[in-house]
Amino acid sequence: MDYSRSQPATTLRIQHGAPCGSLDQNTAVAGEPTDGEGPMKTVQSMLAEADAEVPRITPDEAKGLLGRADVLFLDVREPAEVTASGKIPGAVAIPRGLVEFRADPASAMHDAVFDRTKTVIAYCASGGRSALVGKTLKDMGYGNVRNLGGFKGWLDAGGDVEKG
């Protein structure tokens, strides 16, 4: 048997005293990964959750907020992406994997540009990472977070660009 390819653990719960093979309402389908509490989240379910909690903002609406002291434009693409295509003028470029550390005032890596009283407008290449970041920031107490979506939408709307 080849153990080099491990499969996710699955859980099958049988109701006590129920006929053999009866499953309770929290039982995962055989072969479906679980976290011990029920089916594990998928990327699609996480994105749907983020989209439901983080409102979108259009490029035209966002253009009207450029340069305001009470607004933080947050580019969560990787450094190579920002270097290759530039960024929205004044945007702070912090890769998706570091946002929590930079946004948390208790973190040694905290960045003072993060202020819970500001409106945060997050964007990435296509909108997925910025949606997830938006939800995370909301979970961290940032009340006014918007998802601009993808940088291409900004470009298509004639948005200004500065070198990354």
Instruction: Extract the tokens encoding 42.
Output: 């998928």
Pairing mode, if any, of strands 145-150 and 92-93? unpaired
pLDDT of residue 164: 76
| pTM, full prediction | 0.77
What is the tens place of the pLDDT at every residue in 38-63?
Answer: 789 999 999 999 999 999 999 999 99
Instruction: Extract the tokens encoding 51.
Output: 């989209």
pLDDT of residue 32: 53
Cβ proximity of 63 and 157 under 8 Å: yes
pLDDT of residue 33: 58
pLDDT of residue 95: 98
pLDDT of residue 39: 81
pLDDT of residue 8: 45
pLDDT of residue 125: 97
pLDDT along the chain (164 residues), means of 10: 42 42 44 66 95 97 97 98 98 98 98 97 97 98 97 97 91
Residue 58 to residues 45, 64, 113, Cα–Cα distance (Å): 23, 10, 23
